[in-house]
Chain A
């Protein structure tokens, strides 16, 4: 699929906002410059959080064929950095600024078999893929994992669309996902598309490597917003710049450093490219690596971190990290 990733900003008018679950709202937007939407696409939305301009990425769950209406679905969780509250506040007739669809997670047509694996709100990134694979009569399974059915959006619609190809794993119904069993049953020329919390992603990546499967066939998308631990406030010190900043639970270390006046290098801001890497000189706490740039080995070494997404945590007092920037 030719993925065009030119960032074109446009206006969008909200034409629908409704609760799918107590914490997930479906938001339908009519963009001013509609284009056809391909599976795996997301939009970036301009929002204001705490008086500052910011942006958030949301997968396009579904869209009309001409792209004149696109639907997002947004989870509001205690770990949200403020975007979800803004998005949940939108009502019919409100206007927002958003990009045309961007594709960092393209679905390749033509694999012999597919497994689409969604954890929780990650269903938003893969449900359009499942629709496309059904339309081209591919061999696919959609595996959808959640803690409880009341927190899983779109279950009824997915069952109607995909029948036996949909496999649900619901924690409080006693059918949790066995990642090892799932990955163990995957054959060589199967492509797996994954979007979910970092614990699920890490478990699948580990099982994939252990099963000796081809690394390129594991495809995933992360917007860098989930970790192994709940975010907590921590302090970052940069002795070379004579600078210290407090990183609140709803901001990133990169944002805090920029706000404190550091001239930071970065590109993706979602833990993929490694450009925002900082050297860890001293650490009072533990690093919660939330990126997908470092390997397991590198993460265990704790000498570096991607400051756009990764954080520092402790059990007790305020964690402190002392770093050197590029």
Chain B
């Protein structure tokens, strides 16, 4: 009998910064979005500060996101007109001259960074802005790019599994970035308390179509083999930035000289919505041809087509998991990155009391 160590539907830590929205999605209209199981009403004050309130009025729990913004920083419930400020404190009630002292809705800590609005739905006393995962390529000088959001009907962990092992590119993305050298090449996995890294180099290979096009954007008319890299950086609980690129074969990229290549960063941060759904925010950033909006759009659309193949697979995988509740997961050697991710997340869940501590090994009787 198998003693399974792999959670098929993983819970999510609450004490974490999750992306609630792109910066441009947060404005003077109210956005309704669920983050880590908590429905939120998200908007921006007239002063430009992002706000995330619980999307349920104190009075009868009507969704505030159906209401309207009032004054400099307030919101009005659509049902009985109760108004709150951005701190979640009631500022007026209908048909009475006073305000009930207990009338508040939770206002969750929010940070705007790396083109995203991040929210912390757990213990607010732990919400240190310095804990926002590093996605600096999103808006650092010398980088440009753009991305989209995918609403995926699967447990967020399946997306993390997907991104931590890129061997699947060979099979799922054969027409764009896949090639057989992916599963033939070695990779190196390492980890810390909060990060996991998987590094893979493929030397002197023919570039797949996506990378040949990128090389020609930078080196018009380029022909020949390349050295290709994928360095996957995971930061707990659910951000993965992948350093990807190719350089002319033998020009020293593995030793650190990438001047004869093209470099991108696939920025991914996965926000659990509920147990079987997530908001997958991604962007493809690059550090060459910064002036070309054409390339930005081409890359965004190209990656978007690739990710549609992932999305279809993830939805089908979740459906198969749910249709086979009595079957367990088994693991392959290529899962080492994904398995470290699971372990780091499970440790956080244990610390939050959301996962029973791993049982001690059963004693044979």
Q: Is the CB of A105 within 8 A of B106?
A: no
Measured between beta carbons, the chain A residues less than 8 angstroms from B123 are 36
Q: Which residue of B lies closest to A217 (CB)?
A: B89
- Provide the bound-state CA to CA distance between A132 and B126, in Å: 11
Measured between beta carbons, the chain A residues less than 8 angstroms from B106 are 1-3, 106
Q: A2-B38, A108-B107 are in contact. Are A292 and B98 (CB under 8 A)?
A: yes
Partner of B101, one of A1, A110, A135, A272: A272
Is A221 in contact with chain B by the CB < 8 A criterion? yes
Is A293 in contact with chain B by the CB < 8 A criterion? yes
Is A160 in contact with chain B by the CB < 8 A criterion? no
Measured between beta carbons, the chain A residues less than 8 angstroms from B108 are 2
Q: How many A-B residue pairs have CB under 8 A?
A: 67
A242-291 residues with Cβ-Cβ distance < 8 A to B are: 268, 272-274
Q: Is the CB of B101 within 8 A of A292?
A: yes
Q: A105-B102, A294-B97 are in contact. Are A1 and B124 (CB under 8 A)?
A: yes
Is A208 in contact with chain B by the CB < 8 A criterion? no
Of the candidates A132, A136, A216, the one having the most CB atoms from chain B within 10 angstroms of its own CB is: A216
- Contact flags A121-149 to B (C-beta < 8 A → 1, else 0): 00000000000100110000000000000
Is B285 in contact with chain A by the CB < 8 A criterion? no
B88-102 residues with Cβ-Cβ distance < 8 A to A are: 88-91, 96-102
Q: Is the CB of B91 within 8 A of A132?
A: no
Measured between beta carbons, the chain A residues less than 8 angstroms from B88 are 108
Of the candidates A2, A191, A215, A295, the one having the most CB atoms from chain B within 10 angstroms of its own CB is: A2
Give min CB distance, A17 to chain B, whole Å. 29
- Provide the bound-state CA to CA distance between A30 and B87, in Å: 34
Q: Which residue of A lies closest to B101 (CB)?
A: A220
Q: A108-B88, A111-B87 are in contact. Are A135 and B125 (CB under 8 A)?
A: yes
- Provide the bound-state CA to CA distance between A273 and B100, in Å: 6
Q: Is the CB of A2 within 8 A of B121?
A: yes
Q: A108-B87, A108-B88 are in contact. Are A293 and B109 (CB under 8 A)?
A: no
Is B54 in contact with chain A by the CB < 8 A criterion? yes
Q: A3-B104, A3-B106, A222-B101 are in contact. Are A109 and B121 (CB under 8 A)?
A: no
Is A178 in contact with chain B by the CB < 8 A criterion? no
- Provide the bound-state CA to CA distance between A136 and B91, in Å: 26
Q: Is the CB of B125 within 8 A of A136?
A: yes
- Provide the bound-state CA to CA distance between A295 and B97, in Å: 6
Interface of A is mostly: loop
Is A94 in contact with chain B by the CB < 8 A criterion? no
Q: A2-B38, A2-B106, A293-B96 are in contact. Are A216 and B101 (CB under 8 A)?
A: no
Partner of A216, one of B54, B91, B102, B109: B91
Of the candidates A109, A292, A295, the one having the most CB atoms from chain B within 10 angstroms of its own CB is: A109
Q: Is the CB of A272 within 8 A of B89?
A: no
Is B127 in contact with chain A by the CB < 8 A criterion? yes
Q: A1-B124, A109-B127, A110-B124 are in contact. Are A104 and B87 (CB under 8 A)?
A: no
Q: Which residue of B lies closest to A291 (CB)?
A: B98
Measured between beta carbons, the chain A residues less than 8 angstroms from B65 are none
Q: A2-B106, A109-B124 are in contact. Are A216 and B100 (CB under 8 A)?
A: no
Of the candidates B98, B101, B106, the one having the most CB atoms from chain A within 10 angstroms of its own CB is: B101
Measured between beta carbons, the chain B residues less than 8 angstroms from A222 are 101
Give min CB distance, B59 to chain A, whole Å. 10
Q: A2-B121, A109-B109 are in contact. Are A215 and B101 (CB under 8 A)?
A: no
- Provide the bound-state CA to CA distance between A268 and B106, in Å: 20
Give min CB distance, A67 to chain B, whole Å. 11
- Provide the bound-state CA to CA distance between A104 and B108, in Å: 17
Measured between beta carbons, the chain B residues less than 8 angstroms from A273 are 100
- Provide the bound-state CA to CA distance between A3 and B58, in Å: 10
Measured between beta carbons, the chain A residues less than 8 angstroms from B85 are 216
Is A219 in contact with chain B by the CB < 8 A criterion? yes
Q: A1-B124, A3-B104, A109-B127 are in contact. Are A216 and B87 (CB under 8 A)?
A: yes
- Provide the bound-state CA to CA distance between A110 and B294, in Å: 42
Q: Is the CB of A295 within 8 A of B109?
A: no
Q: Is the CB of B89 within 8 A of A2?
A: no
Q: Is the CB of B101 within 8 A of A219?
A: yes
- Provide the bound-state CA to CA distance between A274 and B98, in Å: 10
- Provide the bound-state CA to CA distance between A106 and B107, in Å: 11
Extra A-B contacts (12), CB below 8 Å, given A293-B96, A295-B97, A295-B98:
A1-B124, A2-B54, A2-B106, A104-B102, A105-B101, A108-B87, A108-B88, A109-B109, A109-B124, A135-B125, A268-B102, A294-B97
